Structure 1
């Protein structure tokens, strides 16, 4: 295992890992973002949680929820791998997840959620203070459609982090994840006729002088006036229209 946890005393432990074991810095982020508070949720008896100071309780809840969300994403992804790559049966998968081979419905729902996660995408409505919206064109062909910057959510990504990454990768525009506001989720037919792609849209504002340049995956970038967003693919034009409530 890349991470070593050694219990040094009855109430102390040391966590050790190498930089190569955490190339994306996720272990470090989890520690910095409130792992102590998340673990406190396990240490405080349920009956005593009501007596904790409300602000401290909110910190514990927020940290525990963030850790739970990250672990849930990874559990779903590993479930897909166990089923599709390792060939694990539904009964074995159920036993691995829950301790009971009879909990096959749980195994199937976790697997289905993992497959939806792998099809998830994000897009960003990046609007300058002068009202222009950032668009990208990915194909070299003259008739290639304009779209909002975005892309696929990685197997263990959060949509928010993926949105900030894809915006910078495709256009060079850097926006910190906390500056992105969720605008909603849209479902569109996927390449697989039996599947649906879900895209989470985010909205952000940048200064009027912000410059964008075509990066990986983008053949061209352009700042569109709000009255010209009809050139975007239909769903993306709808997403832009929905974000006018933020202005």
Structure 2
């Protein structure tokens, strides 16, 4: 049996009541034109918590204390093509407390930023993120999700 390495990423759904903050992806080469929560790769030497705090700061300019990150789910995800770049483990968090006002910090990577009700998300949302957001809306999200496996 071959073993593969996975690429970890951290996602943060900033919540304001029943609303979630979403960015419109652009010029990244991945899911451009789709709405997404602030997220990014866990870098060498970082924990998923540290990456989540850093990504939110870099993408929307707010500060979150690691203790204010609420774990939601972990998603083991595959592109099903056997390529290492498409083997992922995603850590999803929510946060309802932060310092600062969200604003678009990387206009070269996102062209929109807005709050959306979980009942009325924009179209399209990055598919694996849409799955998690639907679980947040319904309260039906499992602790661990396998996505893309047969």
**Normalised TM-score (structure 1):** 0.46
1:170-194 per-residue CA deviation (whole Å, 9 max, x = no partner) reads: 0112211110011111133349643
1:12-50 per-residue CA deviation (whole Å, 9 max, x = no partner) reads: xxxxxxxxxxxxxxxxxxxxxxxxxxxxxxxxxxxxxxx
Q: How far is 1:220 from its partner?
A: 2.0
Residues 218 and 177 (structure 1), Cα distance of their counterparts in 2 relative to 1, 3 Å cut? farther
5 Å matches for 1:1-247? 115-116=5-6, 119-129=7-17, 131-139=18-26, 144-190=33-79, 193-195=82-84, 196-206=87-97, 211-216=101-106, 217-229=109-121, 231=123, 232-244=125-137, 245=139
Secondary structure of 1:228 counterpart: coil
Q: Which has the higher strand share?
A: 2
Higher relative contact order, structure no. (Cα contacts within 8 Å, ≥ 6 residues apart): 2
Provide the alpha-carbon RMSD of the alignment: 2.8
Instruction: Verify the 8 A CA contact 2:35 2:122 in the aligned structure 1.
Output: no
Q: Which runs of 4+ in 1 moved over 6 A?
A: none
Instruction: Verify the 8 A CA contact 1:183 1:242 in the aligned structure 2.
Output: no
